Structure 1
Amino acid sequence: MTNFISIFPLGIVVYPGEQLNLHIFEPRYKQLITSCLAENKSFGIPTVIDSKIMEYGTTVHIKKVEKMYPNGEMDIITVGENVFRILEQVKQIPDKLYGGAIVNYPNNEDLPNTRLQREVLQGVRELHTILQIHKTFKKEDNQLSAYDLAHHAGLSLNEEYELLQLLYEAQRLEYLKRHLYKVIPMMAEMERLKERVRLNGHFKNLTAGDI
């Protein structure tokens, strides 16, 4: 399927099913959101990396206008829908302040992989324990997907974008698993180093052991 959508490029990655809260203040995007609300249409958020609009993004629909300001600014709640790939970008739509793109929607396989999902969830929680972060999810553990966990795994923007391009759930979970297996030992060592630095200069009970 190919169609034309309005786009709102941002330096973030949005995943299907994700809730994203936005404060709209630029005139072109106030116009875009007003138009989407009037026509009950979704819009696309392609990821911007190093000031460049990337090929992939996610469509979002406006769930709720949380607040309208006297100057036309607004706070909106959106929800991610489908991953898209830009075929051709239009920098400015005629008679509009904002741009758009001709896009298609790659087949996105979301079949669950229970074993991988458990391993990734365990890794995310282990990472959070090391970092002394407490996070709760809005879904039951067995319903969490790679998209639900990705923003909580300590990925960089580039890594989050790489995951967005993976179109099979097993691939996405495997990507997160490899990342966590790499980063958890590093973070654990950093925490041990911080502890050694904190103890430096304190009185210590030391023993020479069995000599």
Structure 2
Amino acid sequence: MAGRSSRAELPLFPLSTVLYPGGRLELRIFEPRYLDLVRECTRDERGFGVCLILQGRETGEPALPAAVGTLARIVDFHYDADGLLGIVAEGGQRFRVRRTRVRADGQLRGEVEWWPEEAPAPVPVELALLQTITERLVEVMAPQRRQVPRECYDDARWLGFRLAELLPLGGDERQRLLELTDPLQRLAELRDILPRFQKA
């Protein structure tokens, strides 16, 4: 879909978190509008857009989403013991929301413009410490990524997005890192953020 046209209409799922390209998102679905969203996406083999909530809440009235979000594709689903639907989605291409509308059922739809993919970039020597830090964080916080090929850590795009999702950042910071278009700038900003988390 993303490769055929620069624009598309997507169902939007405003959340209090940021999904990065290549990221993993686990959700429990219970509102009828989002159950419909999952059914539609599964039936049509398409994704939905995840945007950070700028105003409002995840439940109830439609929230105000950030203008830049990430395509999410459902890769697995299950039913929890309490009967609620759980899904696992993976982050894909980023987009900018040009306009939104609310359906009668309360589901938010957005006309989006796809962002071009970032060009591959090796991790420069002066930022190599971020590779080690990310490996340690993966070991503790993201065991599902322990077996990723070593080349991933040499890719500034992959490294920046993984470090951004693993660090305990605020929503505004996560959104800013999502909106950067230069993977080396993203890594440099993450390097500058790191001293905040160092133990005294």
Q: Same fold (TM over 0.5)?
A: yes
Indicate the structure (1 or 2) with the bigger Cα radius of gyration: 1
- How big is the shift at 1:68? 7.0
Q: Distance in 2 between matches of 1:117 and 1:141?
A: 16
1:8-39 CA-partner distances (Å, limit 9, x unpaired)? 11111001111111110011101111111111
Say if 1:68 and 1:31 are closer, same or farther in 2 by CA, change over 3 A. Answer: farther
Secondary structure of the 2:67 match is: strand
Pairing partner for 1:77 from 68, 88, 92: 88
Structure 2: gaps (5+ residues): 1-5, 57-63
1:118 equivalent in alignment to 2:128: yes
Match of 1:194 in 2: none
Pairing partner for 1:166 from 157, 180, 196: 180
Matches within 5 A, 1:10-89: 10-51=15-56, 52-67=64-79, 73-89=84-100
Match of 2:116 in 1: 107
1:183 equivalent in alignment to 2:196: yes
- How big is the shift at 1:141? 4.5
1:91 equivalent in alignment to 2:102: yes
What amino acid maps onto 2:86 in structure 1?
D
> How many residues are matched?
178
Say if 1:70 and 1:122 are closer, same or farther in 2 by CA, change over 3 A. Answer: closer
- How big is the shift at 1:178? 1.3
Match of 1:157 in 2: 171
Asked if 1 retains the 8 angstrom alpha-carbon contact of 2:53 and 2:66, the reply is yes
Q: Distance in 2 between matches of 1:68 and 1:41?
A: 24
Say if 1:113 and 1:154 are closer, same or farther in 2 by CA, change over 3 A. Answer: farther
Structure 1: gaps (5+ residues): 190-211
Match of 2:140 in 1: 134
What amino acid maps onto 1:171 in structure 2?
Q
Asked if 2 retains the 8 angstrom alpha-carbon contact of 1:123 and 1:177, the reply is no
Asked if 1 retains the 8 angstrom alpha-carbon contact of 2:123 and 2:184, the reply is no
- How big is the shift at 1:82? 0.9
Q: Distance in 1 between matches of 2:168 and 2:14?
A: 22
Instruction: Name the TM-score, length of structure 2 as normaliser.
Output: 0.78
Q: Percent identity?
A: 22
Secondary structure of the 1:58 match is: strand
